A = this chain, B = another copy of it.
Amino acid sequence: MDELTLEQVAAERALYGPFTQALRELVDTAIRTTVPADDVRRAQAEIEAVTARLRAAPMRETYGVDLRTDGRGRAWGNAVVGLRNAVAPPLTIVQEGRGVRSSFTLGAAYEGPPGSVHGGVLALVLDQMLGEAAGAGGKPGMTATLTLSYRQRTALGDLTAEAWIERSEGIKTWARGEIHSADGLTVEAEGLFILPKWAREAIASGDARTPSPRFFE
């Protein structure tokens, strides 16, 4: 696959960002709509027509990770942060202080108990956050173990997540993280991340075409 220039990345971001956001709004609306059955059937037919046209060119099997000319990867298919994935909220994760941080909003599509975020969605978010904290701290790895402690229910709405490296030892890194809502701390997580052998070999060989392990998760 050809490497992408930063100009290409910017152009694709301007195209696919709003497109995928429109799709997220359709997913949210589809859950909550109360229009008559005939309107639902008509919407289905139109959705199927759009899908057929988007399939007119050969499709990627999955999104995977694109390579950029600056040596970084682009995981736009990722289930948590993927710009092109309508399943992803998506989170924008920034480095801050001792680790990483994200402010995000979860609506109807992420519901478990009525009005609350699904406990597994909180695990999904924290797995990504802890993995990014490990990568941002120069200790990338894949999740080996992850433990979630739920302190109280998490209401749907505006949330923040933070994660940081607790300690590291060779290829092992232990990270911790938290999710806060307007009610305060709702979930804590700790995880062990290990750099797999193939990635260690790629890094040792200086193979720049290997996607950055920061994007494993």
Contacts and interface: CB of A to CB of B under 8 A. Distances in A.
Nearest to A44: B19
A108 B16 CA distance: 16
A207 interface: no
A138 to B, nearest CB: 19
Contacts of A19: 30, 40-41, 43-44, 47
Given A51-B26, A57-B35, A144 B149 contact: yes
B127 A119 contact: yes
A213 B136 CA distance: 40
Interface residues of A, number: 89
Contacts of A148: 123, 143, 145-147
A27 B32 contact: no
A25 B61 CA distance: 13
A113 interface: yes
A149 to B, nearest CB: 5
Interface string A29-55: 111111111011111101111110111
